Amino acid sequence: MADLGSVHVVERYRRRGLGTWLVREAAEWLKLARLERLLAYARPDESEQCAFS
């Protein structure tokens, strides 16, 4: 199992797929390590992080 946190894309680069790409790349690397779960977390005031769920 691995966890993912503190992913931040500067506002002017948001909505271009960069954050999604970063999370997918992390997941692919973790598959190579045979990890089955990737946990992501955010504080309640970080609602933009929920877009990756």
Between the alpha carbon of residue 38 and those of residues 2, 18, 23, 47, the distances in Å are 5, 18, 10, 19
Query: pTM here?
Result: 0.64
pLDDT of residue 12: 93
| Residue 16 DSSP symbol | S
Higher pLDDT, 35 or 47: 35
Instruction: Identify the band that residue 52 occupies on the pLDDT scale cut at 50, 70 and 90.
Output: low
- Per-residue pLDDT tens for 6-41? 778 888 998 899 988 988 888 888 889 898 777 777
Instruction: Identify the band that residue 51 occupies on the pLDDT scale cut at 50, 70 and 90.
Output: low
